[in-house]
Amino acid sequence: MTNRLADTLSPYLRAHADNPVDWYPWGPEAFAEAQRRDVPLLISIGYSTCHWCHVMARESFADPDTAALINRDFVAIKVDREEHPDVDGAYMAAASAFTQNLGWPLTVFATPRGRTFYAGTYWPPEARQPMPAFRDVLAAVQEAWTLRRVQAEESADAVTDALARAGAAMPSDLPDAVALAGAAETIAAREDRQFGGFGGAPKFPVATTLSLLQTPLVRREAPDAAASADRALAAMSASALRDADGGFFRYATQRDWTVPHYERMLTDNAQLLAIALDAGDETTARGIADFLVGTLRREGGGFGAAQDSESWIDGERSEGGYYLRPVSERAGLESPAVDGKVITGWNGLAIGALARAGARLGEPTWIAKAEDAAAYVLWVNRDTAGALVRASLDGTASQAVATASDVALLADGLFALAVATGDPRWAAEGRGLLDVVLAGIEGDPLLAEHGIAVAPDQTDGDLPSDAAAVAAASLTAWRLGAGDRYREAAAVRVREHSGSSIGQPFAHGSLLRVAAGLVDAPRQLVVVTEAPEGALASRARTADADVIAVVSPSQARAFADAGFELFEGKGSAVEKAFDCRAFLCRLPVSDPSEVAIER
């Protein structure tokens, strides 16, 4: 069908002209029709460059079944807020009585005379904690209007209650904020208040656990638990666990972080770089990045697996002797050997951490090294059929198949690299890898041949479990606008292990971090500029957000063309920062001071 919007002057309205919703433009005709039918008005307000307006249009307004419910129970009005700012201002003020998360798309339910009795913003097609499905919202509003019209006209309480019931009626075993805060507090109860960190000797960095404690949800709901992560990092950074060149050892044999096991792992250091960055510890972050680039990086660009604890000193093997020397005395010694295996997933961790750190701290060299590693792994770590393998050594690929976490961690690293470089090709490559792992990886063929079941354990060791890694990459893809199916992929994996993760949070930090990301709607900052080192971009890079992308107009268009909806409608902007929170696109700003640092 073609509704009444095709001949309007607004590109935003024209974009909805082929919707099955029987839209009216703003005007007396719609009000007259609502009064004639004695049904509420559904007033949808947005603008042409609003990302989540487009999302809701595709998900709900283009859906025939959803449209049928709207057409049956409402008179629908589509408003371009840029064409009718006064209308937008009036209904935005009314909406503030119902929600604190103001923005667009703005969805208002009003009496036939235009008086608001309920309002909200974006609602998904299916229930998504804590949001009910849009169809459930429609049903709840219609119920309130039909059965409790007087109350609806006098107060929004009846509608609010109906919506609460609609949201609660959807079964879900995803942990909520209360459960996640409790899990964080359970972890914090094990904190060593004297020396920092958790538990006694031997004492490990437990980066996967720290990553949960650093989430915005935990910082908000369980602040002392979150502070225990900062205290742990500070204690480790000031201890013998951290070498003078900035790299961290595997673990400490003593409770006070002394007498380390001197092996230095790529996994630990890549994750601790991310931890330090999120903690705002620039000194520690720079030291780790320098260690990765200066010590673990191999010829061709990949990162080796680890540096040995032993080396030759005065003709004898010495464990830790090299590291116990001052840096100034090491030049004359043979350094401990680096295990040169370029492991796919571990390199994914390093790629992601270096890309984020380089963007945040203004170190383009680190981003370039991350690009080199990505290109190397994607080219070298392949079998003859083109599938990723577990590792390579000196340019020769192993026959060992890649694990689910290998592929997922690499995909997540490529997503971070795409954001840091502004190059959507990395994101497209990451999405392709993620699709492979979501479709299912068979695993070791010899085990399958002999019917040997793989271990069902999905706890974190020194890096995220398969389930956690796949869930994390899926969450990132969703945040970049790759589509809701990726959010559901993350949610499925969290649900599968929800009981065990809440019951044993210390062993499931990575998965619970994803769970926290599913509860809290993301904040995404997209700066469209031809001056990536300018004041607007620099300000945005210091903000607390889940995605911080600085792109040129052409790069924004390329991301959108590649299927990453976060960037849709932004390619025509010039020196603008788009701040999207809780799935809402706020008005873009050009003044750096208007970019909020805090969430």
* Digit-coded pLDDT (tens) for 365-379: 999 999 999 999 999
Query: Could you say which residues of the chain have pLDDT below 70?
Result: 1-2, 10-11, 48-49, 82, 85, 155-172, 446-447, 449-457
Kindly report the pTM of this predicted structure.
0.73
Residue 11 confidence (pLDDT): 67
Compute CA distances 281 → 254, 285, 287, 294, 421, whole Å: 24, 6, 10, 20, 23
Tell me what pLDDT residue 156 has.
42
SS3 readout for 279-297: HCCHHHHHHHHHHHHHHHE
Question: Could you give the CA distance from residue 207 to residue 190 in angstroms, rounded to a whole number?
Answer: 15
Confirm if 274 and 344 have CB atoms less than 8 A apart. Answer: no
Question: What's the pLDDT at 52?
Answer: 81
Give helix then strand counts, H and E, for the chain. Answer: 27, 19
The gap from C-alpha 291 to its chain's centroid, in whole angstroms, comes to: 26
Nearest to 34 by CA among 3, 68, 4, 77: 77
Question: How far is it, in rounded angstroms, from Cα 409 to Cα 540?
Answer: 26
pLDDT of residue 453: 53
DSSP 403: P
Q: What is the model's pLDDT at position 49?
A: 63
Model pLDDT, residue 152: 72
